[in-house]
Amino acid sequence: MRKRHVGMGLVVVLVAAFAGTSFAVDMGVITGSDKGTYYQFGLNMQRLVKQSDIDLGVYTSKGSVENVYAVYQRPRTQLGIVQSDVLAFVARVQTDPVLKRIAKKIKMVFPLYNEEIHLLGRRGITDFDDLTGRRVAIGREGSGTYLTARLLFKVSEVEPKEMVLIDTDEALVELKAGRIDAMFYVVGYPAKLFVEGVTEADGLALIPIFNKSITEFYPVVQIPAKTYAWQPNPVDTVAVKSVLVSYDFRRLDCDYVGRFAQIVATNLDWLKKNGHPKWQAVDLEYPLKGWEQYDCVKKYLGKGVAAPAKPKGSINPVMDAIKEILGE
């Protein structure tokens, strides 16, 4: 009898100790380089959801294709940020059975912001078409920058002498040393790498992109003057949309992602005030063609959950270029 009372007493003590205690949910988002806008967005969301007992790990990566794989198979990595044309790439894959399976279940959580295509080169290069016959860094294979650069060359039929497959940090070093002529970096301005790593003395400039074949399929945008201290004038370029995605999880992860999305949606003004400047350009209701918002997100946002729409193929040179890269 005495043992029973001791046991009951222990239960009471434990209940009292944990009363009012909340248990944090472990989640993760895979982003990009620690100098890129994806990573800064991840840190901003981490700070926001911490107040709601969500411990959000923010992970760096080598690019958008790695991020697609990560949300599919990496533990506690329910979220990833990718480029919209990488989503199109995944949706069109026929030769890789794993990507084909992933493509059926990758879902949009929110559209985010336009990522400007930064083309940085020596000042003697006047525009995108002037890359013909030059050595150009296009990002590490598998990165979003790599895929977009390949698509731009295919669509425009501009042929560089060599497409150099190195990451953006290394590309900037090579560009400063004069061993390459230009480099691509798909990132929302201001890019931390260019803010901290480029000065007027380097003799570099942002190169405009107004090739007609490209501007037919990518939205035309402008990087404002003095976005970077060494950039005196506005620069015309094109952009891709960045997207927060998840895999079509069920059970707990479905609710975790839905709850996370609800927090972000109801606190967008806080993110715009306290986060990276690119939050100012975020429209969570932007209609991203061919992609269905995750039904777990819709449920938490109070939207009607309809049957998922099938992505509609788009017949245009960008899609043809994707197929050519894949060897289809």
E strands within 87-132?
A: 106-122
E strands within 15-87?
A: 25-30, 54-59, 79-83
Q: How is residue 310 annotated by DSSP?
A: P
Percent of the chain's residues with pLDDT above 90? 58
**Cα–Cα dist 76/70, whole Å:** 10
Which H or E run contains 156? helix 144-156
Torsion 48-52-58-63 (CA) sign:
negative
E strands within 165-234?
A: 182-186, 204-206, 220-223
This prediction has a pTM of: 0.74
Do residues 109 and 294 make contact, with C-beta atoms less than 8 angstroms apart?
A: yes
- Cis peptide preceding 111, ω within 30 of 0: no
Please give the pLDDT value at position 14.
Answer: 38
Percent of the chain's residues with pLDDT above 70? 82
Tell me the mean pLDDT in the region 81-105.
Answer: 75
Sequence-ordered list of residues with C-beta below 8 angstroms from that of 21, at least 6 positions apart, any chain: none
Give start-end residues of each CATH 3.40.190.10 domain in the chain. 23-113+242-313, 115-240
Per residue in 44-81, pLDDT tens?
999 999 999 999 999 999 878 889 889 988 888 999 99
3-class SS at 30? strand
Between 11 and 175, residue with greater pLDDT: 175
Please give the pLDDT value at position 91.
Answer: 66
Q: Tokens in use for 111?
A: 């559209």
Give the range among 21-30, 74-83, 236-245, 314-323 with minimum mean pLDDT: 314-323
Give the range among 90-99, 199-208, 290-299 with minimum mean pLDDT: 90-99
Residue 27: pLDDT above 80?
A: yes
Residue 241: pLDDT above 80?
A: yes
**Cα–Cα dist 210/189, whole Å:** 18
Do residues 197 and 113 make contact, with C-beta atoms less than 8 angstroms apart?
A: no
Please give the pLDDT value at position 120.
Answer: 98
Question: Packing angle between helix 97-105 and helix 64-73, nearest 10 degrees?
Answer: 80
Do residues 321 and 151 make contact, with C-beta atoms less than 8 angstroms apart?
A: yes
3-class SS at 125? coil
Residue 311: pLDDT above 70?
A: no
Q: Which amino acid belongs to residue 136?
A: V
18 pLDDT band, cuts 50/70/90, is very low
What fold does the segment set 23-113+242-313 form as a domain?
D-Maltodextrin-Binding Protein; domain 2 (3.40.190)
Tell me the mean pLDDT in the region 76-98.
Answer: 79
- Burial of 110-149, coded b for 16+ CB within 10 Å and e otherwise, reads bbbbbbbbbbbbbeebeebeebeebbbbbbbebbbbbbbb
Pick the CATH number of 115-240 from 3.30.300.30, 3.40.190.10, 3.30.70.330, 3.40.50.920: 3.40.190.10
Do residues 210 and 145 make contact, with C-beta atoms less than 8 angstroms apart?
A: no
Q: Tokens in use for 220?
A: 């035309």
Between 315 and 275, residue with greater pLDDT: 275
Provide the mean pLDDT of the chain: 85
Between 96 and 148, residue with greater pLDDT: 148
Please give the pLDDT value at position 184.
Answer: 97
Residue 304: pLDDT above 70?
A: no
